[in-house]
Amino acid sequence: MDENTLAYLVVIVIFILFSVIRNTRQSSGGSGRGGKNARIVYSREPDLERTRGLFGMAEQKLEKAGLTDLMLQDFHFRTQLSPAQCKDLQQAQAQLQSMLMEMLPHLHLLPDIRVIMTRDPSELIHGALGQYEHSGSTKTIRILLVPDATPALLAATLCHECSHYFLYSYILSERDSDMNEGLTEVMACLVGFSEIMIQSNPNRDLPYLNRPEFEEVRRCLLAARPALQQKYDQKQNLLNARTQLKKNLAGGRAMLEQTRAMIAVSRSPKKKLSRGELARLQQTLLALENGSCAERLNQAEKALSGDLAAVRGADDSVLAVCGELYRMMLAFQS
């Protein structure tokens, strides 16, 4: 074996060794993470197509749960976490607990989860920065306080774990654990935490989504908002229409009682009426006596659970009844 061949072989061996080391690192970053937020160096090219797929999946899940309005606004913590507090276990725990109690009501969930911080990595699954656990009614988010923890890193870890709980509570989790982790990151962005997730990136070892992917999620989110806002406004119109219908129904029923009381006292109109007006009045009187006025109000009440057109239609019907009753009241008034 000459010198050149030996040098060539050495290069080959080094190359093989390097590949083995690199593959081992990558595979440990790509599997066995379960429901955890792993702190594993994970460098790969951004996969924007996969990211958009995850976005679509998360959006569909929110739609199914009737929670798409969560996509309309960015969430901001009132509790401030300082870099100094990130060095102190007790202080960091207290701040994160307070932050979690702001996040849960934002997600329409009871604020009843305890945050436990630890410096001992063995309390969490290997490589994890955080984990969500529950046993019976006790729910816990455990977070590892690493020496180089920053407010952005801890906030993003909390968002990630909170997103796991969110998916779990609304029964939206995916069975496949890698898929579920990707979904968890994207869902955290969709429900209001996208800025927090993006900000954490320089400090986070990006186990599931990397920065360009988080930015793609944010871009998709901003693009989806106008149409969602329109849908939400329609929903808001429906809620307002229902409130109005309830109010008008109550008013209509009060008028019905008033008119009945009026008729009981005096059975003939106080004013001179035209033949047409008189015929109309007789119809209303009949409707009052045979109960069809009250029946129309009862029918309208049933539309409260219907769509906007049904509610508006019912409201029109209530207001028509009210109009007839009011005409009658005017005629009977002295």
With contact defined as beta carbons under 8 Å apart, do 36 and 153 qualify?
Answer: no
Q: According to the binding rule CB under 5 A, does residue 157 interact with Zn ion?
A: no
Shorter beta-carbon distance to Zn ion: residue 181 or 315: 181
Smallest distance, Å, CB 317 to Zn ion? 53
Smallest distance, Å, CB 93 to Zn ion? 20
CB-CB neighbours of 242 under 10 Å = 18
Q: Which residues of 44-69 are buried (b: 16+ CB within 10 A; e: fewer)?
A: eeebbeebbebbebbbebbeebebbe
Shorter beta-carbon distance to Zn ion: residue 37 or 51: 37
Q: According to the binding rule CB under 5 A, does residue 163 interact with Zn ion?
A: no
**Contact characters 180-219, Zn ion, x per CB under 5 A:** -x--------------------------------------
Smallest distance, Å, CB 108 to Zn ion? 21
Q: What does the alpha-carbon distance between residue 202 and residue 323 come to, in Å, rounded to a whole number?
A: 66
Smallest distance, Å, CB 159 to Zn ion? 11
Q: Which residues of 274-294 are buried (b: 16+ CB within 10 A; e: fewer)?
A: eeeeeebbeebbebbeeeebb
Q: What does the alpha-carbon distance between residue 273 and residue 261 come to, in Å, rounded to a whole number?
A: 21
- 297 to 85, 328, 330: CA distances (angstroms): 61, 17, 21
- Residue whose CB is nearest to Zn ion in the complex, by number: 37
Shorter beta-carbon distance to Zn ion: residue 183 or 328: 183
Shorter beta-carbon distance to Zn ion: residue 164 or 242: 164
Tokens of 290: 């045979």
Q: Which of residues 37-96 bind Zn ion (CB under 5 A)?
A: 37
With contact defined as beta carbons under 8 Å apart, do 185 and 163 qualify?
Answer: yes
Smallest distance, Å, CB 142 to Zn ion? 12
Q: According to the binding rule CB under 5 A, does residue 248 interact with Zn ion?
A: no
Shorter beta-carbon distance to Zn ion: residue 75 or 168: 168
**For the chain, first and last CA: distance in Å?**
126
- Binding residues for Zn ion (CB under 5 A): 37, 181
